[in-house]
Amino acid sequence: MPRARRHLLRPTLAALSLSLWLGGAHAQTPLFSDDGYRIDLYRSPTPTQLQGATIVDTPALQTLLGRNPRPVLIDVYRRQWLQGRFIEDQPHENLPGSHWLANTGDGELTPPWQDYFAGNLKKLTSGDPTQPLVFYCRSDCWLSWNAVKRAASLGYKTLYWYRDGLDAWQAARLPVTPALPEPFP
């Protein structure tokens, strides 16, 4: 093979080797639990549909917020939990009026975290499974996808997924407020 052609193949072979090596590293780790929740690589492209929920963009969410009953906004962004308390490693903001149920979008929840999620939903909806709920996180974040799926499994019927979340809200230059997670029992 002419020398120039061999030189052109090297980057391609190197890229292929790296791709195979990286793919092999993740091939051992499942992305979904047996129950269908995303359990790894939470910050990656998300699907464009979710069974049991309506996906909303920023204008659609603004319209929803003007309706009666007004939907309950639920932020599920993660917050470090250490020695029985949330650790504020950096400030977090969310959409005005939101309730931050930190860490409830993880793919696998221990019974206390599942109770935290279910108990807060019951309180926020006054036990009404038809109360509209809007779940969000950031763009390309599976945490809110998991939370919607989990709310549906608890019997909630009017579910919305603000798929691009806080990032889209801020990109539209809409107001945000400082946030604190709902207290964990």
Residues 104-145: pLDDT tens digits? 999 999 999 999 999 999 999 999 999 999 999 999 999 999
Which SS3 state, helix, strand or coil, does residue 73 take?
strand
Q: How far apart are CA 69 and CA 130, in angstroms?
A: 10
Let me know: does 73 contact 101? Beta carbons within 8 Å: no
Q: What is the pLDDT of residues 144-184, one digit of tens each?
A: 999 999 999 999 999 999 999 999 999 999 999 999 999 99
Taking alpha carbons only, the member of 18, 125, 33 closest to residue 71 is: 125
Closest CA to 142 of 108, 175, 98, 111: 108
pLDDT digits (tens, 9 = 90+) for 51-60: 999 999 999 9
Taking the whole predicted model, whether its pTM rises above 0.75 is answered as yes
Q: Which pLDDT score is estimated for 20?
A: 40
- Give dist(CA 27, CA 96) in Å, integer: 40
